[in-house]
Amino acid sequence: MTSKGVTTSEFFPEIGKINYEGPDTDHVFAFRYYDEHRMVGNKTMKDHLRFAIAYWHSFCNTGSDPFGAGTREFPWDKYSDPMDNAKYKLEGAFEFFTKIGAPYYCFHDRDIAPEGNSVAQSEKNLQEIVAMAKEYQKTTGVKLLWGTANLFSHPRYMNGASTNPDFQVVCHAGAQVKAALEATVELGGENYVFWGGREGYASLINTNMKRELNHMGQFLRMARDYGRKIGFKGVYLIEPKPAEPSKHQYDFDSATVIGFLRDQGLADDFKLNVEQNHAILAGHTFAHDLQAAADAGMLGSIDANMGDVQNGWDTDYFPSDLYDCIHAMMIVLQQGGLAPGGLNFDAKVRRTSSDAEDMFIAHILGMDTFARGLLIAQNIIENSNFLQMKENRYSSFDSGEGAAFENGSLTMEDLKNLAEKNGEPKKTSGKIELYEMLINNYIR
Ligand code: XLS
Ligand code: NI
Ligand code: NI
346 carries an active-site annotation: no
Query: Which residue range(s) make up the domain with 424?
Result: 387-441
| Domain count along the chain | 2
Give the contacts of 341 (CB within 8 A, at least 6 positions apart): 50, 145, 190, 191, 235, 237, 271, 273, 299, 300, 301, 302
Q: Which among 35, 111, 251, 269 is annotated as catalytic?
A: 111
The verdict on the CB of residue 239 being under 6 Å from ligand 1 is yes
Q: Which of 338, 362, 381 is the last residue of a domain?
A: 381
Rounded distance between C-alpha atoms, residue 304 and residue 52, angstroms? 9
Nearest residue (by CA) to ligand 1, atom 3, is 195
Complete DSSP assignment for 336-395: T--TT--EEE-----TT--STHHHHHHHHHHHHHHHHHHHHHHHHHHHSSHHHHHHHTTG
Tell me, yes or no, whether 363 and 431 share the same domain. Answer: no
Ligand 3 centroid to 197 CA: how many Å?
10
The verdict on the CB of residue 61 being under 6 Å from ligand 1 is no
Tell me, yes or no, whether 315 and 423 share the same domain. Answer: no
Q: Check: CB of residue 242 under 8 Å from CB of residue 249.
A: yes
Q: Is the peptide bond before 245 cis (omega within 30 degrees of 0)?
A: yes
Nearest residue (by CA) to ligand 1, atom 8, is 346
pLDDT at 7 (0 to 100): 45
Tell me, yes or no, whether 12 and 88 share the same domain. Answer: yes
Tell me, yes or no, whether 343 and 397 share the same domain. Answer: no
pLDDT at 181 (0 to 100): 99
Rounded distance between C-alpha atoms, residue 53 and residue 172, angstroms? 28
Rounded distance between C-alpha atoms, residue 156 and residue 357, angstroms? 36
111 carries an active-site annotation: yes
Phi and psi at 239, nearest 5°, equal -105, 110
Task: Pick from 238, 275, 301 the residue to mutate for probing ligand 1's pocket: most ligand atoms within 8 Å of its CB.
Answer: 275
Nearest residue (by CA) to ligand 1, atom 6, is 314
Tell me, yes or no, whether 126 and 184 share the same domain. Answer: yes
Tell me, yes or no, whether 138 and 93 share the same domain. Answer: yes
The closest alpha carbon to 60, from 73, 44, 78, belongs to 73
Tell me, yes or no, whether 71 and 6 share the same domain. Answer: yes
The verdict on the CB of residue 277 being under 6 Å from ligand 1 is no
Tell me, yes or no, whether 52 and 119 share the same domain. Answer: yes
Q: Which of 361, 381, 401 is the last residue of a domain?
A: 381
pLDDT averages per 10-residue partition of the chain, 444 residues? 47 94 97 98 98 98 96 93 97 97 98 98 98 98 99 98 98 98 99 98 98 98 98 98 98 98 98 98 98 98 97 95 98 98 98 96 98 98 98 98 98 98 98 98 96
Tell me, yes or no, whether 328 and 180 share the same domain. Answer: yes
CATH number at residue 174: 3.20.20.150
Tell me, yes or no, whether 298 and 428 share the same domain. Answer: no
Phi and psi at 372, nearest 5°, equal -65, -40
